[in-house]
């Protein structure tokens, strides 16, 4: 698992990497073209490097502090040493990014803001950003939840009853082939207020794949499992809830994972088009005002927020499929 060289040298190098990045931030002068170094000029993006330096220093300090601690936790030590090279590469990337943008202006603002600008922006506007995260999350969770419920419901119907399959499956297939974003103009016109329209789009995005996977999982149940329950005295309803649906559970979660990705895609696209809040809206809004550091900040926040959502779904999956542990890797 931790196969990288277990050497403290790489760990030291990684810490040093952050030192170098700090040194670059402190000692390389900002060579703004057209201005002499140090000359005051008018700019419309944050350039205060304090937050950036704090982050670099904090990482270095944490790494130094973890080192003696790692003597008591062998797994932690292995993990730290395993990750050392990557952390070092991360430090170098930050340094290079800082150098190319804020220092040498090879990559120019406003399209390429440095880490300095982004990190200066985020903490000073955290409340604003958080409200957008909240708006996005609410929509996303609501849409995915409704889509999952609808998907599982229709999945059971088409997977268990021939009549439902006959009537419902073609419709389902239609909504599955057409991307949810194609409905956006119709939804935004017909469904008011905007969150309702977007929830509808998210439901469309997740409904098909979840119900499809659900039905497929039920249909692939081995005949022997039904026959066993039959010889044990089970009725049809018992077979549905205790054989077919449990057997479909791994498939459902495959469906939910895919639906999550599709929903996030639809969410951001929909927010960019017709919302007044949310991270997608914020990105679009920032672009309009040429505040590209806000766009990058929103992307980073998006990464963090969506990672948390995915981690929660993964946890639920692991709990629901705990009987599979060791059966599949």
With CB under 8 A as the rule, give the number of residues binding another protein.
Answer: 22
Nearer residue to another protein within complex by CB, 28 or 249:
249
Min dist CB 238 to another protein, Å, is 5
Site string for another protein, 217-256 (x = CB under 8 A): -----x-xx-xxxxxxxxx--x---xx--xx-x-------
Q: Is 74 a binder of another protein (CB under 8 A)?
A: no
Nearer residue to another protein within complex by CB, 304 or 328:
328
Nearer residue to another protein within complex by CB, 48 or 227:
227
Q: Is 192 a binder of another protein (CB under 8 A)?
A: no
Nearer residue to another protein within complex by CB, 162 or 223:
223
Min dist CB 211 to another protein, Å, is 21
Nearer residue to another protein within complex by CB, 219 or 230:
230
Site string for another protein, 309-328 (x = CB under 8 A): --------------xx-xx-
Q: Is 181 a binder of another protein (CB under 8 A)?
A: no
Nearer residue to another protein within complex by CB, 307 or 318:
318
Give the chain as a 3 state SS string.
Answer: CCCCCCCHHHHHHHHHHHHHHHHHHHHCCCCCCCCCCCCCCCCCCCCCCHHHHHHHHHHHHHHHHHHHHCCCCHHHHHHHHHHHHHHHHHHHHHHHHHHHHHHCCCCCCCCCCCHHHHHHHHHHCHHHHHHHHHHHHHHHHHHHHHHHHHHHHHHHHHHHCHHHHHHHHHHHHHHHHCCHHHHHHHHHHHCCCHHHHHHHHHHHHHHHHHHHHHHHHHHCCCHHHHHHHHHCCCCHHHHHHHHHHHHHHHHHHHHHHHHHHHHHHHHHHHHHHHCCCCHHHHHHHHHHCCCHHHHHHHHHHHHHHHHHHHHHHHHHHHHHCHHHECCEC
Q: Please give the residue ranges that form the binding site for another protein (CB under 8 A).
A: 222, 224-225, 227-235, 238, 242-243, 246-247, 249, 323-324, 326-327
């Amino acid at each position: 698992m931790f196969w990288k060289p277990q050497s403290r040298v790489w760990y030291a190098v990684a810490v040093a990497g952050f030192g170098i990045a700090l040194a670059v931030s402190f000692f390389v002068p900002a060579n703004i073209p057209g201005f002499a170094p140090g000359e005051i000029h008018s700019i419309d993006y944050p350039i205060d490097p304090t937050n950036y330096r704090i982050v670099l220093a904090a990482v270095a300090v944490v790494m130094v502090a973890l080192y003696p601690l790692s003597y008591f936790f062998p797994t932690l030590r292995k993990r730290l040493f395993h990750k050392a090279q990557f952390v070092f590469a991360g430090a170098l990337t930050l340094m290079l990014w800082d150098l190319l943008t804020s220092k040498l202006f090879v990559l120019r603002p406003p399209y390429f803001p440095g880490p300095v600008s982004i990190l200066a922006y985020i903490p000073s506007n955290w409340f604003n950003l958080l409200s957008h995260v909240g708006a996005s999350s609410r929509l996303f969770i609501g849409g995915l939840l409704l889509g999952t419920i609808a998907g599982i419901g229709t999945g059971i119907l088409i997977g268990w009853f021939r009549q439902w399959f006959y009537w419902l499956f073609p419709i389902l297939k239609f909504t599955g082939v057409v991307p949810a974003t194609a409905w956006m103009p119709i939804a935004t016109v017909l469904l008011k207020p905007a969150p309702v329209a977007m929830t509808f789009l998210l439901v469309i995005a997740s409904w098909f794949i979840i119900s499809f996977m659900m039905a497929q999982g039920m249909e692939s149940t081995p005949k022997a499992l039904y026959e066993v329950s039959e010889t044990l005295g089970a009725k049809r309803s018992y077979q549905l809830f205790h054989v077919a649906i449990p057997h479909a559970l791994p498939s459902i979660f495959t469906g939910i994972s895919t639906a999550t990705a599709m929903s996030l895609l639809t969410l951001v696209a929909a927010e960019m088009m017709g919302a007044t809040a949310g991270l997608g809206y914020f990105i679009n809004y920032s672009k309009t005002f040429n505040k590209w550091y806000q766009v990058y900040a929103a992307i980073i926040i998006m990464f963090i927020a969506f990672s948390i959502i995915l981690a929660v779904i993964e946890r639920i999956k692991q709990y629901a499929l705990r009987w599979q542990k060791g059966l599949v890797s």
